[in-house]
């Protein structure tokens, strides 16, 4: 098999037998396609005991959630594999292991994380994984530091920036985060009941200027090799463990984009809590999300600063005092990007289950409006929110 073809379940099993790296691959007998993301095929490969042992993920030549009318580069599979491999090299404890990548079939064979749960599903079920925020902060500090100018030789950095050029996937982000919500577009998707909130957003010229600045930063700040789409649906958790998957949007961009996506998704869960849970559980979930965000940011800054101190190599960047200035700028970007994630997940093409699965219609609409409102306030008030604690106070004042 050399020419690209979309796998059937049988072909996925045959492929896994050849490339799983298992001691006895003959025990692999059955595959199930379980992809629930927006883009690709994902097969779980089961053994004779009906235990899922390995994952085979294949890129489709189009956007899965839209169909063949939206063609999309197969090269995203290479970018996903190479980003995960690069991140695994520096942070194996929190990155899924890639076992094999096939540049002809655009297939990744990877470690099966079925003993974990997708973080978003856990959050919607009201579960709290107390270690997850700290581990996510460690992952982000580590992978972003080791791909930054603080650590890499400038020649190597530029080589990597070229290797991880990802124009088609970046274009999706550029459109969905920074364009669509702020204009009429057929990709947008929201109920008529929230039209007023949507219009208020589009009439806000200060907001549009701030969003333009964020888009410019996304276009032109190759600070580090980002995951590029790190929401709670790209993160597996179980007690004591966190593993990141799904890095096909990986490219060299502004660090605050990854931090903002992660924090934005915790805030989306915060905005949905009153629709998802009874009153006392909602209060507890909201406090936990704010605690998660504080922990994520403080872990990130502490770990990043320690890495600069002990492993930083650029003389000028490692001068006393610069890292705190750098992190202040990253925090400002983080808040802005978190705001754009809140907005695009409430009214754009791609929504989140934290809001969309709220069964009571009025509660669902109120949650969507909360997310839009909070997104706008974050984008417009980055200067007054100085750290995780002050973000919590700001969010509590909003709702």
Ligand X SMILES: CSC[C@H]1O[C@H](OP(=O)(O)O)[C@H](O)[C@@H]1O
Phi, psi of 220 (to 5 degrees): -135, 40
Residue nearer to ligand ADP on the CB measure, 169 or 197: 169
H or E segment to which residue 244 belongs? strand 241-244
Q: Out of ligand ADP, ligand X, none, which partner does residue 34 contact, by CB within 5 to 8 A per kind?
A: ligand ADP
CB 137 within 8 A of CB 303: yes
Residue 247 assigned to a binding site: yes
Judged by CB under 6 A, which of 16, 39, 273, 343 binds ligand ADP? 39
Instruction: Show Cβ contacts of residue 171 under 8 Å, excluding neighbours closer than 6 positions.
Output: none
Tokens of 174: 């550029």
CB of 370 to ligand X, least distance (A): 21
Q: Out of ligand ADP, ligand X, none, which partner does residue 124 contact, by CB within 5 to 8 A per kind?
A: none
**Of 286, 215, 294, which Cα lies nearest the Cα of 253?**
215
CB of 113 to ligand ADP, least distance (A): 4
Residue 262 CA to residue 285 CA, distance in Å, equals 17
Residue 229 assigned to a binding site: yes
Direct distance between the N- and C-terminal alpha carbons of the chain, in angstroms, rounded to an integer: 56
Query: How do the residues of the chain divide into helix, strand and coil, expressed in percent and rounded to 5?
Result: 55, 15, 30
Subset of 215-254 contacting ligand ADP (CB under 6 A): 233-234, 245-246, 248
Judged by CB under 6 A, which of 42, 140, 172, 395 binds ligand X? 172
Residue 57 assigned to a binding site: yes
Taking each helix axis as running N to C, give the angle between helix 76-90 and helix 167-178, from 0 to 180 degrees, rounded to the nearest 10. 90
Contact mark string toward ligand X, 21..40, x via CB under 6 A: ----------------xxx-
Q: Out of ligand X, ligand ADP, none, which partner does residue 176 contact, by CB within 5 to 8 A per kind?
A: ligand X
CB 28 within 8 A of CB 56: no
Judged by CB under 6 A, which of 58, 83, 142, 234 binds ligand X? 234
Told to check if 347 binds ligand X by CB under 6 A, we report no
Judged by CB under 6 A, which of 62, 66, 100, 114 binds ligand ADP? 114
Instruction: Show Cβ contacts of residue 315 under 8 Å, excluding neighbours closer than 6 positions.
Output: none
Told to check if 291 binds ligand X by CB under 6 A, we report no
Binding residues for substrate: 229, 344
Q: Give the footprint of ligand X on this chain (CB under 6 A).
A: 37-39, 63, 172, 176, 229, 233-234, 246, 349-350
């Amino acid at each position: 098999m050399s020419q690209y073809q979309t796998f059937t379940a049988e072909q996925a099993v045959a492929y896994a037998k050849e490339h799983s790296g298992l001691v006895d691959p003959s025990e692999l007998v059955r595959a199930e396609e379980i992809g629930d993301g927006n883009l690709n095929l994902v097969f779980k490969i089961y053994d004779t005991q009906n235990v899922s042992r390995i994952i085979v993920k294949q890129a489709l030549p189009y956007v899965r959630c839209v169909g063949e009318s939206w063609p999309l580069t197969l090269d995203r599979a290479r970018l996903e594999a190479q980003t995960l491999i690069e991140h695994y090299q520096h942070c194996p404890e929190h990155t899924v292991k890639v076992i094999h990548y096939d540049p002809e079939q655009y297939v990744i064979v990877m470690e099966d994380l079925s003993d974990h749960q997708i973080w978003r599903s856990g959050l919607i079920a009201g579960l709290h994984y107390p270690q997850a925020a700290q581990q996510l902060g460690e992952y982000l500090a580590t992978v972003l530091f080791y791909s930054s100018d603080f650590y890499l030789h400038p020649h190597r950095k530029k080589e990597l920036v070229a290797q991880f050029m990802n124009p088609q996937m970046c274009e999706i982000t550029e459109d969905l985060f920074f364009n669509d919500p702020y204009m009429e577009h057929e990709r947008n998707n929201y109920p008529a009941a929230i039209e007023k909130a949507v219009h208020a957003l589009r009439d806000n010229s200060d907001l549009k200027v701030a969003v333009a600045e964020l888009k410019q930063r996304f276009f032109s700040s190759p600070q580090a090799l980002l995951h590029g789409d790190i929401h709670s649906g790209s993160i597996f958790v179980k007690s004591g463990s966190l593993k990141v998957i799904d890095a096909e949007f990986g490219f060299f961009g502004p660090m605050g984009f990854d931090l903002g996506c992660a924090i934005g998704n915790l805030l989306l869960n915060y905005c949905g809590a009153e629709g998802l849970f009874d009153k006392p559980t909602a209060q507890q979930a909201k406090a936990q999300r704010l605690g998660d965000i504080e922990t994520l940011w403080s872990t990130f800054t502490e770990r990043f600063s320690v890495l600069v101190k002990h492993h930083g190599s650029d003389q000028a960047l490692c001068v006393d005092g610069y890292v705190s200035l750098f992190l202040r700028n990253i925090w400002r970007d983080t808040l802005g990007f978190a705001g754009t994630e809140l907005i695009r997940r409430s009214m754009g093409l791609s929504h989140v289950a934290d809001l969309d699965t709220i069964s009571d219609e009025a509660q669902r609409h109120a949650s969507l409006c909360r997310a839009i409102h909070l997104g706008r306030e974050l984008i417009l008030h980055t200067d007054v929110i100085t750290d995780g604690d002050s973000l919590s106070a700001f969010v509590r004042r909003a709702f």
